[in-house]
Amino acid sequence: MSSAIIDDQEYDGSYVRCVLFRLDTENYGVNVQNVREVLRVNEIRPVPGAPFDVLGVINVRGVIVSVLDTRQFFKLYTGSITDLSRIIIVEQQGQTLGLLVDEVKEVRDIQEESIDAISAIGDDSNNRMIQGVTHASAEGVIIIIDSEKFFDGQASGGGGHAGDSGASAGDDDLF
């Protein structure tokens, strides 16, 4: 069985370039086209009244970005922030959101044909965030998430996750 991840060999078919990251013991991937940057975790400012899975906001060069506790969102136990923890900044149609993850591993190319779609089970909105799964010899199962779905109002917080990227540089005094 060949690996679904493209290493040094050539592959003629289409592929998806993904940022691979870890939550607990599971491996995830998000399409790099939607990733603006990956940041070390600094101060996350809590926001009163925010949905339970929103940790707060950060200031990224004058833009206020909501940070989602991705563990909480996917109903994993809450873990502590470590030196390996990162915030993946994703963008979609002018909106920006930070995803707190346990560790960012690398950027990899994954063959599109190796990504198996999963059917939605029950009424769980988190299932809609999963684009599919694939298998790699080193990592095992990799869950590919569709970061665009975090912005379309289907997220568990009722669409309140996406940060307003219209903040001005004058908002730096908030921090």
- How many C-beta neighbours within 10 Å does residue 89 have? 21
Q: Please, which pLDDT band fits residue 99 given cuts at 50, 70 and 90?
A: very high
pTM of the model: 0.77
Residue 74 pLDDT greater than 80, yes or no: yes
Residue 166 pLDDT greater than 80, yes or no: no
Q: In percent, how much of the chain has pLDDT > 90?
A: 51
How far is it, in rounded angstroms, from Cα 153 to Cα 44? Answer: 23
Domains of the chain: 14-174 (2.40.50.180)
Residue 110 pLDDT greater than 80, yes or no: yes
Please answer whether residues 20 and 28 qualify as being in contact, where contact means their C-beta atoms are separated by less than 8 angstroms: yes
